[in-house]
Amino acid sequence: MKKYSNIIGGKSVSSQKTFLSRNSSNLEDILGEFPDANLEQVREACIAAKQGFDVWRKTPAPIRGQIIGNIGKAIEREKEALSQLLSREMGKTLKEARGDVQEAIDTCHFFQSEGRRLYGQTVPSEMHNKELSTYRRPLGVVGVITAGNFPVAVPSWKIIPALVTGNSIVWKPSEDAAATSYAFAKLLEEGGLPDGVLNVVFGGGAGSTGEFLVQMMDEKRLNKIAFTGSTAVGRKIGEVAGRNLSHPTLELGGKNPMIVMRDADLDNAVAGALWAAFGTGGQRCTSLGNLILDEPIHDAFIEKFLEKVKTIKIGDPIKHEDVLYGPFINERFYKAWDAHYDMAKADGATLLHGSRRITDTNKDNFIGDPSTGFFGSPTVWAGVTKDMDIFKTEVFGPTVSIVKVNGIDEAIETANSVDYGLSSAIYTNNRMWAYQFKDQIQAGMSSINNSTTGAEAHMPFGGVKGSGNGTRESGIWVIESYTYWHGVNDELSGKLQLAQMDTEYGEVKQAFDVSSLM
C-alpha cells in the first residue's frame, strides 16, 4: 500500500495517526494511506506558510501569474490521469471528472492574466502637489478547507486566486478525496511555487485536522479562511472568523428550486431536471432540491419525468462510462441520505419512485455488483408542500421533491421560502415571467431554460441566506476575497496640507439673474 505525507514547508511530514482512501465504487480497492495531521503539525504548516508568504508577496504579480500558467499546463498534461483517479476515488463519472479537472485548467488560464491586471487607481487630490493612489495587497496566510465532491475544481477556485494575489496557503482537503488532492497539490508545486507557499495537511473535520486549522484563527496564524461544506459548519467558522475580524469565504449548502411554467418546453425541462437532480448522484451543492411545477403542466411533466427516471443507469463509472451516476462518496453520506425517507414519509409526501439503497434484490437499472459500494436509488417525492421538512432540508443525494403551484407569483414565493439561496432555475418562454424570476428570486445564481447545476470559471459562484455570506468564487469578483485595498497619500509639497481645512475651494461670484435679460 502506498503511504502519503503532509506537505509542510516543501517537505514530506508523516503523522502517527492515519486513514485509508478507498475507491467509492469498490471499497476493497484501497488507493493509499494518508496522515491525519495533529494540532502541532497544523501549527507548523501555518508557520511555514507565514515564511512562504514573506517570499511570495514580493514576487512580482506578473511572475506569479506566469507560475499559475505553468500550473495550468501541468494539469492539462495530466488531465486524463487525474480524471481517472478522481472518478475512481470519489465515484464521479469520467465525463464529470474530466469537467472537474477542466474547471481547474480554465481557472489557471483566467488567473494567469490577472497577474498583469491587479490594478490600483490614481486618484486626483483636492490639494496641490499631492498624489493619491490605491493598491491591492495580499491578506497573508489563507486557510482552505474543501469538500470531496469537487476535489479539483473547488480547491482551484480558492487556491489559484489566493496565490496570484500573493497569499500563501494551508490547505486541508477532504479526507474523501485524499489521493486526488495529493496529486493536485503536486501539480501545483510543479508550477514553481517556493517552499512554504502551498502547505497541505490531511485529516478529518470535527475534532481533527479541519477543526485544528480553524483554531489557528484564534492563534492569529491565519489571516483568512475559505470553506466549502455544510451550512452548520460554515456558521461555526463564521463565528470564529468574526471574533478575529476576518471575513471568511463560505460556500455552503443549498435547497435549489427549479420552476417549470405552463408554457415551457416540457422535453427540455425534463432533461434539465433529470440532470440537475441526479447528476453526480445529487451530491452537488447546486443539485435540484425542489421541482416546482405550474398546475396546468403538473401531471404531464411528472409522467414524462418518471419515464426518464426509470431509465437511469447506475454503476461503477470507471467500468461503465454510460451510467448517469455512481456511488455515494462514503457511508456517512449514504446514511444521511437514507434518513430522508423516514422524514418524507412522516411529512406525508408521496413516493413516486425510489427504494433506498440499491442491492442485489433491488437493482433498478444498476450495472454490475451493487454490494461493492453505497449506491442510492433515484428518488422522487410528490405532494410536497412548503411546511414539510423534506421541502426545507437539503438532501445530499439522488432525491427530488415535487411541489404544485398555480402561476408565476406563487412559484417564485414558493422557491424563496427556504433558508437557502444558492442556485435556481426556471423553464419558460414568457420573457416577462423570466424577467420577474431573475428580478425576484433569492439566489446567488440563476438559469433560464437550463439546469440548476454548472459553473464557468469566469462567472461568480456563491449564494445568499443559508448558502453563504456574500463572498463569491471565480471570475474577477473573487479577487476582493483575497486582497485588501491600501490607500497611499504621497505629499510632494514639503509642507503639511490638511484636506477639507486647507483646501482652496472656489469662491462664489456675484449671482447672475437670468430674468434681467428678458
Task: Name the residues annotated as catalytic.
Answer: 251, 285
Exposure of 512 in the CB half-sphere (CA atoms within 13 A): 5
Is residue 37 within 8 Å of residue 47, measured between CB atoms? no
Which of 459, 466, 471, 480 has its CA nearest to residue 249?
A: 471
C-alpha 122, offset from chain centre: 34
Which of 23, 67, 87, 272 has its CA nearest to residue 165?
A: 67
Is residue 260 within 8 Å of residue 273, measured between CB atoms? yes
SS3 track for 151-182: CCHHHHHHHHHHHHCCCEEEEECCHHHHHHHH
Q: From start to end of 444-495, where are the E strands?
A: 447-448, 464-465, 483-491
Q: Which residues, 6 or more positions from 245, have their beta carbon under 8 angstroms from its beta carbon?
A: none
C-alpha 94, offset from chain centre: 20
d(CA 427, CA 436): 13
Q: Integer distance in angstroms from the first to the last C-alpha of the chain?
A: 98
Evaluated on CA atoms 188, 191, 193, 195, the torsion sign reads positive
Is residue 507 within 8 Å of residue 489, measured between CB atoms? no
